[in-house]
Amino acid sequence: MSTLLSKSEASYIASALLASEEPVRSDGRGLLDFRSIALEASVAALANGSGRASIGGTSNNNIGVGDPASEAIVAARLEVEGIESGSGAGLTCTVTCTPSAYPHHTMPQLDDLSSDLSALLQQALESSSNIWSPQLVIIPKKKRWHLNLEAVVISDSGNIFDTLVIAARVALWDLRVPRTRNLEYQRQTEHPATDDAMEVDESKRDAFGSAVKGSRVAKKPTGDFELEDYWEDGLPLKGRNSLPVCVTLNLLPPVHFLDASLQEERAVPTRMHMTFSFPAADPANSILHNTRSTGPSEIPYASIAPLIEAGEGYARRLNEALNTKLKGDDKRKAAIA
């Protein structure tokens, strides 16, 4: 699909969005309506968790089939890393944009776009409390699970960043953290036996049952671990109901709209990305993790607070819809199993 618009085409799209009585979009949606969203978990066999998200297309049950859709796959992989005080994010996000998704981009342009989306996804997720969950600590102050999110953009028909965050949320929902057991090593040291200083280790006896004199067993601090689960087993990530969600407001003063198509993005290039989470312990509360504006136009300072307030409402509805869908899928899988 070509991403180029003439000035007259861009003007026509913007005028239709600004229609005072009834704004018109090419697919008949209202300004605040999303296209259909399709989710699928466990799509990568060699990952600890994975998910696919698609926005648009003709059917929720046939991802990527029919009309163009924005589609992304995210795989979550755990690897062991050492804990150094005050260092490391515990998360690494990598986004790869495929040539099939952007056929008009050169390879350097694809690399730049991939780098930008990787940075956006990292910023959106790294401040979440789920990434710093004690569940991901293996040995306190020594080792933990480092979370690698590897995303691939399959196709882009607009609003690809929201699609990526949704796919990452599905992958983290699907994530299983292996249970571990800490190991302690014992080291036996020999000391000369004396009449006034002799220690007997009752747990160490020779074949005849006599005590081994003059020995001392020293326990070393926990330094290693073993897995109790296979990689495909484990426990779900705690607090996954409150994983971050992102909404992108496309700004065309005095209005804004959600889930822009590719042509709408070209006609209205100014947008504001907002990432929220909603703690399960206090659903009425919300946490704004970050905001980022892109595009050629500046956003007036007086407009920022109302836009954030509106974005919170959109993100809350999206969060509830995603949780409902993912919980329903889990129940259906459990019933089949």
- Cα–Cα nearest to 64, from 35, 98, 31, 38: 38
pLDDT tens per residue, range 4-56 = 788 899 999 999 999 877 788 888 899 999 999 999 999 988 899 999 999 99
Distance between first and last Cα of the chain: 42
Q: What are phi and psi of 30, to 5 degrees?
A: -80, 170
> What are the φ/ψ torsions at residue 149 (nearest 5 degrees)?
-105, 120
Report the chain's mean pLDDT, rounded to a whole number. 83
- Each residue's pLDDT tens digit, 66-80: 467 999 999 999 998
pLDDT at 171 over 80: yes
Comparing 113-117, 129-133, 229-233, 247-251, which segment has the lowest mean pLDDT? 229-233
The H or E element containing residue 170 is: helix 160-174
Inter-axis angle of helices 160-174 and 107-125, nearest 10: 50
Helix axes 301-336, 160-174, angle to 10 degrees: 40
Average pLDDT rounded to a whole number, residues 267-274: 94
pLDDT at 180: 77
Nearest to 244 by CA among 162, 324, 309: 162
> Which pLDDT value is given to residue 282?
81
